[in-house]
Copies of this chain bind each other. A is one copy, B any other.
Amino acid sequence: MELQVIKTDRLYIKVAQQLSKLIRDGKIKPGERFPAERDLASQLGVSRPTIREAMIALEISGIIEIRTGSGIYVTGKKPTLYTIDRGVGPFEILEIRYIIEAEACALAAERITETQLAQLRTALREMEEEEKQEDATEKADWKFHSIIAEASQNSAIYLVVNWLWELRNQSVLSTSFLESIRKEGIHPSLNDHKRILEALEKRNPERARIAMKHHIDNATSAAAAHFGPEA
């Protein structure tokens, strides 16, 4: 018999759970602002430092955004994975994306809804628009991949894929790497994405898997040609 350590949750954790429940229940919608810290403290019967501690937990999970002098806003983002010490290199990101996004694509081919197909078409059009701009942000590219992860109907896959994209965008190493790629005119291939979409429209898991692998292979080759494969 193994005894478990009795550890009561700290107050800030309880408060954070309560506040995230307000968001989950739709009481405070994306874009809306929380009551001020002082008001929340009063309503919940806790101190302002405790509210601030709870807000830190919510902030780093990504579901709120804190703006000094303005307020605390619900981002509308799903809670994301978070790591403080990011030492993941760009090729490691590509390698794990090759593994996970290919299979996510195959699962999506079986499980995708018509709504999600329509969303993918929209994202593809946005990518076409983005490509005309000089310093596009690849928001549409991320959206495209995020919809596929969502269509896999596995929330762990969804969380991990979005974390990888966030990692890719936040990492100093990765962003300077991506900026160099952009300057050299290397863009995510629209043709690759069109093939992915076609495979999903045909609900063909094998073709979807192959199309996504091909796409990430291309991205990896482009990166390797730029930096060399050891980066």
Contacts and interface: CB of A to CB of B under 8 A. Distances in A.
B82 A61 contact: yes
Nearest to A99: B103
Contact of A61 (B58, B84, B88, B104): B84
Interface in A47-90: 49, 52-53, 56-58, 60-61, 63, 78-85, 87-89
A156 interface: yes
Mostly helix, strand, loop or mixed at chain A's interface?
Answer: helix
B100 A99 contact: yes
Contacts of A52: 49, 53
A128 interface: no
Interface residues of A, number: 48
Nearest to A53: B56
Contact of A2 (B2, B81, B137): B137
Considering the complex of A and B, which 10 residue pairs feature the smallest CB-CB distances, nearest first?
A: A81-B81, A99-B103, A96-B156, A61-B84, A79-B85, A88-B156, A92-B154, A92-B156, A79-B83, A82-B82
21 contacts: A1-B135, A2-B135, A17-B84, A20-B85, A49-B52, A52-B53, A56-B57, A57-B84, A58-B84, A60-B82, A61-B82, A61-B83, A63-B85, A81-B81, A88-B156, A88-B159, A92-B157, A93-B156, A95-B154, A96-B156, A99-B104
